[in-house]
Amino acid sequence: MANAGIPIVEPKGKLGVLTVGLGAVATTMIAGVEAVRRKLALPIGSMTQMGTIRLGKRTEKRVPKIKDFVPLASLDDLVFGSWDLFTDNAYEAALKAGVLDNRLVEQLKDFLVTIQPMSAAFEQKWVKRLHPDNLKTGATKMDLAEQIMEDIRQFKKRSGADRLVIIWCASTELFTEPCPVHQTLEVFEEGLRTNSPDIPPSMLYAYAALKLGVPFANGAPHLTVDIPALTNLAIEKHIPICGKDFKSGQTFMKTLLAPGLKLKLLGLKGWFSTNILGNRDGEVLDDPENFKSKEETKSSVLERCIQPDIYPELYGSYFHKVRIEYYPPRGDAKESWDNLDIFGWLGYPMQIKVNFQCRDSILAAPMALDLVLFLDLAQRCPEMAKKGIQEWLSLYFKGPQVAAGLYPEHDVFIQVMKLKNTLRYLRGEELITHLGLEYYD
């Protein structure tokens, strides 16, 4: 049933976008927005810019663009800031990342040089492969979090932004399980004051954001906001949060294929996924402890898509292996290979091979942009903001953040329906169920 529509405050003034990390993904997103603003290129891959949404019955032929259907901030109103471990401005960082054509980066140089990263909160043990030169110092983790809060206030003042969103586009930290210090805000804050070894830098940024009422998305696989202390803070203060780990390349393909196997009731004996990647992200992930964070999010999607508990004869005992190999010559041009050993009618074996020659940050940049714009939308909609966790954004993540005790939906077809039905609900349109009978009365 349609409702009367949910109140959403119009996006007035500038939206400040703060990226933690000014590496390949962040510079590709920022430079890309400017290229689109200057009409040098199209925002391909961005749901908020090019996506459409069907409304009402198929016979009504109402299919507006999403950006014309819900009140999103305009690209012209975005202003950018960042933190990074290195002092390179966005122009220098984009050249080093080597994702975009040098010619395009040169065309945007006057804009990119204005984005100079603020100094970072960092601790070497969480990312061993990088050796930074642009760091904050402080006696305690609370001191560092307070410095980040001051950075956020100063950025807001100097950029003239009315609203802010923060997105983690920084390196993957080493794997950690939720610990006692992550459980409540009280013990977490005590941990900040006493330098708990279980609080990584990413949690300092997330804590600072939430304390100041700024929505936060996490594009990497480590926990960050996905701990009770910070999730509850977001819910209490009505601040949208979401994560973890952009679902951009191989895992996106996996969550396209796996639901297909299940709907055809084809069995699975094994799925081997490997990648070669040569950018700084690949270098960080070459450390087994950092890779373990990625392995967790990359591996869990398959289990949820094929549901071995419900289909034991088909998926009860399959072998799943995921590898990432650091191979510098490739830079950002990642290549992935998947081999699926499957079986069909009467158990006869078959194989599927997928070779995806992608560009990691070209896939991730529009996702980062969409997350920023959708989180800002959620912040302007009190009914959404008060939920804290924005599960409707699951489509963007390998490890979607969901309410405690709930399993995440990984199937992309469910995820996209979830996202679009949420938008329909916000605007008081009928939800589309794809019931097979409705045109035949």
Residues that bind ligand NAD (CB under 6 A): 20-26, 83-86, 97, 120-122, 127, 130, 169-172, 201, 219-220, 245-246, 248-249, 279-281, 360-361, 363-364
Q: CB nearer to ligand NAD: give 30 or 384.
A: 30
Q: CB nearer to ligand NAD: give 22 or 152.
A: 22
CB of 11 to ligand NAD, least distance (A): 26
CB of 62 to ligand NAD, least distance (A): 34
CB of 25 to ligand NAD, least distance (A): 3
Q: CB nearer to ligand NAD: give 85 or 142.
A: 85
Q: Find residue 315's DSSP bridge partners.
A: none
CB of 301 to ligand NAD, least distance (A): 12
CB of 314 to ligand NAD, least distance (A): 29
Instruction: Report CA 12 to chain centroid distance, whole Å.
Output: 25
Q: CB nearer to ligand NAD: give 121 or 302.
A: 121
CB of 293 to ligand NAD, least distance (A): 8
In the complex, residue closest to ligand NAD by CB: 23
For residue 112, the one-letter residue type is L
Q: CB nearer to ligand NAD: give 22 or 66.
A: 22
CB of 8 to ligand NAD, least distance (A): 29
Q: CB nearer to ligand NAD: give 283 or 341.
A: 283
CB of 83 to ligand NAD, least distance (A): 4
Label the pairing between strands 349-357 and 319-326. unpaired
Q: CB nearer to ligand NAD: give 381 or 412.
A: 412
Q: CB nearer to ligand NAD: give 305 or 333.
A: 333
CB of 130 to ligand NAD, least distance (A): 6
Q: CB nearer to ligand NAD: give 13 or 197.
A: 197
Q: CB nearer to ligand NAD: give 291 or 318.
A: 291
CB of 388 to ligand NAD, least distance (A): 22
Pair 141, 191: CB distance under 8 Å: yes
Full strand arrangement of the beta sheet holding 319-326:
319-326, 267-277, 335-343, 349-357
CA count, 13 A, side-chain hemisphere, 162:
11
